[in-house]
Amino acid sequence: MSLVVFPFKEEDPEVLLASVKVALAHPRVKEVLCVGASEDHCFRAVSAAAPELTRTYGKPVGIIVQERIGEMRPGKGDGMNTGLKYFLEETDHRRLHFYDADIVSFSEEWITKAEEAADEGYQVVRHYFPRSSTDAMITWMITRTGFALLWPRSALPWIEQPLGGELLLTREAAEKLFADPRVRRQSDWGIDTLYTFAMVAHGLSIAEIYIDAGKLHKLYGALTDLKTMLIECFSAVQGLKGEAVPEGTMHHIEYPGPVRQEMKERIGYDFERTLWLLRENWTDRQVELLALFPREVREGLLTSRQYPRFSFMDEDAWAEVYRVLLAHFDARDADWAELLFKLWIARVLQYTTAVALRGYDYAMYHLHRMVARYVHRALVGA
């Protein structure tokens, strides 16, 4: 039947074990595998609990350390690809579920809805859920923007949460993903981008199911918390820019439900701490690199060395900036990495003050229309 995999790194073992119990109790699930980045405290706690869980539920609970499969920084990609490899080589299960290990709202509904969509014939089932209007800023400003500008006729721009780690793969889909060297190579935070890209590139049918409980996580501090993820996710998109993607992918999105007021009022990051990052870590070479960008962007960021400015980074400016980054960014270069970070911060701050403060419903409508406008821009050559 189905294998459920939880990749994890330094998570709260109580949260992870609660999710493991939910998965074990589900009638469609025949085995659970936890894939740890290392033998940390969470790994040891799950290892200690696994034998008793196996006896109680009569289903295997495995725990392994992720293999070194990819070529990038060892990270989430190695964890997910280790689970993918285990599913294909060590089991005969027909379906594979992935879930992040930090979901405090995990329930049987996540598994049931995915299984039901797969019963309808979809090869991939992706979960999506409500997010704060200032959360998912890498998803919106990096991944969905890149998908819209680079592959406007494909399904890629319209996938709701392309960086989501919650999904179901049929065995056929898993085989196609693991056989793709681009997927196996991506050992870092870029793995979610590569999974999403490969699903569409290989013409797999995709259903997106809506989980209205959402996936709450703690407030980010200053956006430095996301710097590594930002760089690796952009690099993943940039590395794919010359690849072809078919049109006409079968893609169904379940209509979303109402969003809780708690989610509408939630702020995704610490605005004040982030604001002052625009002044920090400047080098002469970053100033030189700014010559590649439009004048308004160049002048705005240079002024930010004395006092933070970001109003210049609207969606049109960001599209131009993104194209420059696609052509010139080098993830191995520390100055390029820092400059990407500053440019993205300016975009997030501008969006927050000009759009998100006008209310949740307005902001989410604006973000979806932004993607549509980027698709249009790419199709008409603007």
Three-state SS sequence of 58-77: CCCEEEEECCCCCCCCCCHH
Residue 263, pLDDT score:
81
Q: Which of 101-110, 152-161, 239-248, 253-262 has the lowest mean pLDDT?
A: 253-262
118 vs 377: CA distance, rounded Å:
35
Q: Which residues contact 382 (CB under 8 A, 6 or more apart)?
A: 376
Q: pLDDT at position 221, please? A: 62
How far is the C-alpha of 373 from the C-alpha of 379, rounded, in Å?
10
For 160, the 3-state DSSP assignment is coil
> What's the confidence (pLDDT) of residue 193?
98
- 66 burial via Cβ count (<10 Å: 0-12, 13-18, 19+): buried
Q: Summarize the confidence of residues 237-261 as an average pLDDT.
A: 93
Q: pLDDT tens-digit profile of 49-87? A: 999 999 999 999 999 999 999 999 999 999 999 999 999
- Among 7-21, 109-123, 253-267, 324-338, which is the least confidently predicted range? 253-267
Confidence of residue 128 (pLDDT cuts 50, 70, 90): very high
Is the model's pLDDT at 354 over the cut of 90? yes
Distance CA 39, CA 54 (A): 20
Say what the pLDDT of residue 218 is.
Answer: 52
Q: Against a cut of 0.75, is the pTM above it?
A: yes
Q: Is 60 exceeded by the pLDDT of residue 217?
A: no
Q: What is the mean pLDDT of residues 293-303?
A: 97
Residue 370 is predicted with a pLDDT of 98
Identity of the residue numbered 291: A
Question: Residue 258's pLDDT band (boundaries 50, 70, 90)?
Answer: confident
| Top CATH class, 2-265 | alpha beta
Give me the pLDDT at residue 76, please. 96
Measured CA angle at 33 (ends 32, 35), to 5 deg: 155
Confidence at residue 179, expressed as pLDDT on a 0 to 100 scale: 98
- pLDDT over threshold 70, residue 34: yes
Closest CA to 293 of 340, 253, 244: 340
Once rounded to an integer, what is the mean pLDDT over residues 282-304? 97
Q: What SS3 state is found at 253?
A: strand
Give pLDDT, residue 214: 79
Domain boundaries of the chain, sorted by first residue: 2-265, 271-380
Question: Over the chain, what is the mean pLDDT?
Answer: 95
Q: What is the mean pLDDT of residues 256-280?
A: 86
The whole-angstrom distance between residue 43's C-alpha and the CA centroid of its chain comes to 24
Asked if the model's pLDDT at residue 219 lies above 80, the reply is: no
Residues near 369 by beta carbon (within 8 Å), at least 6 away in sequence: none
128 Ramachandran zone, left/alpha/beta (phi>0; psi -120 to 50): beta
Task: Find the mean pLDDT for residues 292-314.
Answer: 96
Q: How far apart are CA 102 and CA 338, in angstroms?
A: 29
Helix, strand, coil tally for the chain in percent (to 5): 55, 10, 35
Q: Are 271 and 133 in contact (CB under 8 A)?
A: no
Tokens in use for 369?
Answer: 């229309």
Is 195's pLDDT higher than 70? yes
Residue of higher predicted confidence among 367 and 217: 367
pLDDT > 60? residue 352: yes
A 10 A CB-CB count for 290 gives 20
